[in-house]
Chains A and B, each alone.
Chain A
Amino acid sequence: MPTDILMPALSPTMEEGTLAKWLVAEGDDISSGDVIAEIETDKATMEVEAVDEGKLGKILIAAGTENVPVNTPIATILEDGEDASAAPVSAKAPEVAAPAETISATQTASTATTAPAAIIAPDTSVPEGTTMISTTVREALRDAMAEEMRADDNVFLMGEEVAEYQGAYKISQGLLEEFGDRRVIDTPITEHGFAGIGTGAAFAGLKPIVEFMTWNFAMQAIDHIINSAAKTLYMSGGQMGCPIVFRGANGAAARVAAQHSQCYSAWYAHVPGLKVVAPYTAADAKGLLKAAIRDPNPVLVLENEILYGQSFDVPEMDDWTVPIGKAKVVREGDDVTIVSFSRGMTYALEAASRLADEGINAEVIDLRSLRPLDTATVIESVKKTNRLVTVEEAWPICSIGSEICQQVTAQAFDYLDAPPTKVSGADVPMPYAANLEKLALPSAEDVIAAVKQVSYKN
Chain B
Amino acid sequence: MTAGAPTAVASAHATNGEAPPPTPFTKEEDLHAYREMLLIRRFEEKAGQLYGMGHIGGFCHLYIGQEAVVVGMQMAIAEGDQVITAYREHGHMLATGMDPKGVMAELTGRKGGYSRGKGGSMHMFSKTKAFYGGHGIVGAQVPLGAGLAFANKYRGDGKVSLTYFGEGAANQGQVYETFNMASLWKLPVIFIIENNRYAMGTAVERSAALSEEMYARGAAFGIPGEQVDGMDVRAVRAAGEKAAAHARSGEGPYVLEMKTYRYRGHSMSDPAKYRTREEVTQTREERDPIERVRVRLMRDHDMSEDELKGMDKTIRATVNESAEFAQNDPEPDPSELWTDVTVEA
Instruction: Tell me if chain B binds chain A.
Output: yes
Contacts of A200 in B (CB 8 A): 84, 132, 143-151
Contacts of A291 in B (CB 8 A): 345
Whether A237 and B113, one on each chain, are in contact in the complex, defined by CB atoms closer than 8 angstroms, is yes
B118, B123, B340: most-surrounded residue (chain A CB, <10 A): B340
One digit per residue, 1 when the CB lies within 8 angstroms of any chain A CB and 0 when it does not, for chain B 327-345 equals 0000000000001111111
Distance in angstroms from B299 CB to nearest chain A CB is: 44
Contacts of A192 in B (CB 8 A): 143, 173-174, 177
Q: List 14 A-B residue pairs with CB atoms under 8 Å apart, sorted by A's residue number.
A: A188-B177, A190-B181, A194-B143, A196-B140, A197-B150, A200-B149, A200-B150, A201-B151, A206-B151, A233-B343, A235-B134, A237-B113, A237-B115, A239-B126
Contacts of A275 in B (CB 8 A): 342
Decide: A203 near B180, CB < 8 A? Known: A239-B127, A297-B345.
no
Whether B181 and A295, one on each chain, are in contact in the complex, defined by CB atoms closer than 8 angstroms, is no
Whether A236 and B133, one on each chain, are in contact in the complex, defined by CB atoms closer than 8 angstroms, is yes
Distance in angstroms from B286 CB to nearest chain A CB is: 38
Bound together, the chains give a CA A275 to CA B344 distance in angstroms of 12
Decide: A203 near B343, CB < 8 A? Known: A196-B142, A239-B126.
no
Cross-chain contact of A223 among B134, B137, B151, B342 (Cβ < 8 A): B137
Contacts of B343 in A (CB 8 A): 233, 238, 241, 296-297
Bound together, the chains give a CA A234 to CA B135 distance in angstroms of 13
Q: Which partner residue on chain B sits nearest A229 by CB separation?
A: B144
Contacts of B142 in A (CB 8 A): 196
Contacts of B127 in A (CB 8 A): 239-240
One digit per residue, 1 when the CB lies within 8 angstroms of any chain B CB and 0 when it does not, for chain A 238-280 equals 1111000000000000000000000000000000110100000
Query: Is B114's CB within 8 Å of the partner chain A?
Result: yes
Query: Is B14's CB within 8 Å of the partner chain A?
Result: no
Query: Is B152's CB within 8 Å of the partner chain A?
Result: yes
One digit per residue, 1 when the CB lies within 8 angstroms of any chain B CB and 0 when it does not, for chain A 124-161 equals 00000000000000000000000000000000100000
Interface size counted on chain A using CB atoms at 8 A = 44
Bound together, the chains give a CA A446 to CA B342 distance in angstroms of 37
A to B contact number (C-beta, < 8 Å):
154
Contacts of B185 in A (CB 8 A): 185
Q: Which partner residue on chain B sits nearest A196 by CB separation?
A: B143
A187, A205, A238, A291: most-surrounded residue (chain B CB, <10 A): A238
Bound together, the chains give a CA A270 to CA B74 distance in angstroms of 40
Query: Is B119's CB within 8 Å of the partner chain A?
Result: yes
Could you list which residues of chain A lie within 8 angstroms of chain B, going by C-beta atoms? 156, 182, 185, 187-188, 190, 192-206, 223-224, 227-228, 232-241, 272-273, 275, 291, 294-297, 324
Contacts of B146 in A (CB 8 A): 193, 196-197, 200
Whether A188 and B144, one on each chain, are in contact in the complex, defined by CB atoms closer than 8 angstroms, is no
Q: Which partner residue on chain B sits nearest A200 by CB separation?
A: B147
Distance in angstroms from B43 CB to nearest chain A CB is: 20
One digit per residue, 1 when the CB lies within 8 angstroms of any chain A CB and 0 when it does not, for chain B 90-130 equals 00000000000000000000000111111100011111000
Contacts of B342 in A (CB 8 A): 233, 272-273, 275, 297
Whether B143 and A240, one on each chain, are in contact in the complex, defined by CB atoms closer than 8 angstroms, is no
Distance in angstroms from B99 CB to nearest chain A CB is: 14
Query: Is B184's CB within 8 Å of the partner chain A?
Result: yes
- Kindly list 19 other residue pairs between chains A and B, CB separation below 8 angstroms, not including A201-B151, A203-B132: A182-B154, A190-B177, A193-B177, A196-B143, A196-B146, A197-B150, A200-B148, A201-B150, A203-B144, A204-B148, A204-B150, A206-B150, A223-B137, A234-B341, A236-B124, A237-B118, A240-B127, A241-B343, A296-B344
